[in-house]
């Protein structure tokens, strides 16, 4: 039997929420977010750069995050992302919806 894998369809619907969760802890730049998600998943999850930046743009447009330029003391100038109050509320709502959905799916399968 092949190793189980994470469905791209499930990821697509939850990438924004996973990014918001990372930003709840502190501000991060793009590659750092990818690395944190990979590390927290034990290497099981690898978000592609295009997927990440598409989510970041969407989250910004919706008012869930904002960005700012970091200082240049540690290499090139990096764009850091920060969660907003709306983003915190969105995360809480999405997490609650996920928990409800997970509970129902667990009952059915």
Q: What is the pLDDT of residues 9-36, one digit of tens each?
A: 777 789 999 999 999 999 999 999 999 9
Q: Quote the pLDDT of residue 9.
A: 77
Distance CA 19, CA 69 (A): 19
Six token digits for residue 24: 């709840």
Distance CA 30, CA 78 (A): 9
Contact 67, 80 (CB under 8 A): yes
Closest C-alpha to 66, from 91, 51, 85: 85
- pLDDT tens across 65-108, in order? 999 998 766 667 899 999 999 999 999 999 999 999 999 999 99
């Amino acid at each position: 039997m092949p190793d189980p894998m994470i469905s791209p369809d499930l990821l697509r619907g939850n990438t924004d929420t996973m990014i918001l969760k990372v930003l709840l802890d502190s501000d991060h730049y793009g590659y750092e977010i990818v690395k944190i998600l990979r590390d927290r998943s034990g290497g099981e999850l690898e978000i592609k750069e295009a997927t990440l930046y598409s989510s970041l743009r969407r989250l910004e447009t919706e008012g869930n995050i904002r960005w700012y330029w970091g200082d240049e003391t540690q290499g090139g100038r990096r764009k850091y992302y920060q969660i907003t109050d709306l983003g915190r509320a969105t995360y809480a709502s999405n997490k609650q919806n996920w928990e409800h959905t997970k509970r129902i799916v667990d009952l059915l399968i």
